[in-house]
């Protein structure tokens, strides 16, 4: 199989032409997306270049503490993003989301590392950083979707919840259906991806490995592993986040906090 064709700065500059055309199309159709597309293009270039240099440094350093430090930074950023999409008014959302994503990602990655991939070292940067990154990104989206759905539903259903409480229901029982609906909403993108994967389009991870010269069956094997990791981590994250959020809506007397 042919080696990966490397792209230089000229190639990347030509690639930017695609976004220039997109901005032109937006202007032509008067969509008003020109600034958004331009800012998104700039951020994409800057963030990925910075990521590339950071990963190059971490891989060259080959140190467990450096790997852990990078993972903690990634975790914190994703938790902040998820918190902002859920609510900044509810107390303790950030540590709740941070802890939920930490637990789900750690369990998923360590399970994969120790039982499936089994690298020579548990912190092997080549494996743990990209796998953790994929899980973190997907868990963030799942947490944000489920959390936002739960918060908005509870805020608009105070009367119904208080009716359940007055009839003797516990706080958990009063919001049980809302929590289940929120968890399902958080998992819809993952389930849709699992249903359509390999049928409609070649997944991004598989595409990247094919471009790098990996054999198709090897690439597909890793895609199977990754999609199962994402599904498990997303479910666990939404379970923990929604459980914690439900508790934030009730005081010690089991009364709904407005």
**Model confidence band, residue 9 (pLDDT cutoffs 50, 70, 90):** confident
Q: Is the pTM value of this prediction over 0.95?
A: no
Residue 163's pLDDT is what?
82
Here the tokens at position 24 are 């032109």
Q: Is 226 exposed, middle or buried (0-12, 13-18, 19+ CB in 10 A)?
A: buried
Whether 47 is in a domain gets the answer yes
Quick one: 231 and 206 in the same domain? yes
Number of domains forming the structure of the chain: 2
Which of 109, 145, 144 shows the shortest CA–CA distance to 233? 109
Long-range interactions of 41-48: CB distance < 8 A, separation 24+: 41/16, 45/12, 45/16
For residues 248 and 256, what is the distance between their CA atoms, to the nearest angstrom?
A: 9
For residues 174 and 167, what is the distance between their CA atoms, to the nearest angstrom?
A: 10
**Model confidence band, residue 12 (pLDDT cutoffs 50, 70, 90):** confident
Quick one: 106 and 125 in the same domain? yes
b/e string for 55-73 if b means 16 or more Cβ within 10 A?
A: eeebeeeeeeebbeebbee
Looking at every residue in the chain, the average pLDDT score rounds to: 87
**Does position 1 have pLDDT exceeding 70, yes or no?**
no
Intra-chain end-to-end CA distance of the chain, in Å: 62
Lowest mean pLDDT among 2-6, 21-25, 63-67: 2-6
Residue ranges making up the domain that contains 30:
1-61
Contacts of 70 (CB under 8 A, 6+ apart): 54, 58, 129
Measure the CA dihedral 213/218/219/220, to 10°. 150
**Does position 211 have pLDDT exceeding 80, yes or no?**
no
Task: Give tens-digit pLDDT for 31-51.
Answer: 899 999 999 999 999 998 898
Quick one: 160 and 132 in the same domain? yes
Whether 227 is in a domain gets the answer yes
For residues 147 and 87, what is the distance between their CA atoms, to the nearest angstrom?
A: 8
């Amino acid at each position: 199989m042919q080696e990966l064709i490397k792209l230089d700065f000229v190639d990347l500059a030509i690639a930017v032409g695609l976004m220039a055309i997109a901005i032109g199309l937006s202007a032509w159709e008067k969509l008003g997306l020109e600034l958004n597309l331009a800012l998104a293009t700039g951020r994409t270039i800057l963030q990925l270049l910075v990521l590339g240099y950071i990963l190059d440094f971490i891989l060259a350093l080959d140190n467990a503490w450096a790997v852990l430090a990078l993972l903690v930074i990634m975790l914190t950023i994703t938790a902040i993003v998820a918190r902002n999409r859920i609510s900044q008014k509810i107390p303790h959302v950030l540590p709740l989301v941070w802890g939920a994503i930490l637990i789900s990602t750690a369990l998923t990655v360590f399970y994969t590392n120790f039982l499936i991939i089994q690298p020579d070292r548990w912190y092997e940067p080549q494996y743990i950083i990209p796998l953790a990154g994929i899980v973190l990104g997907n868990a963030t989206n799942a947490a944000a979707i489920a959390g936002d759905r739960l918060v908005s539903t509870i805020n608009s259903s105070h009367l119904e919840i208080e009716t359940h409480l007055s009839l003797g229901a516990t706080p958990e029982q009063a919001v049980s259906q809302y929590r289940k609906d929120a968890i399902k909403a958080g998992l819809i993108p993952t389930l849709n991806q699992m249903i359509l994967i390999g049928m409609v389009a070649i997944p991004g991870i598989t595409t990247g490995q094919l471009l790098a010269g990996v054999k198709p069956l090897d690439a597909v094997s890793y895609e199977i592993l990754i999609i199962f990791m994402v599904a498990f981590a997303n479910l666990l994250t939404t379970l923990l986040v929604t459980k914690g959020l439900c508790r934030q809506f009730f005081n010690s007397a089991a009364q709904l906090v407005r």
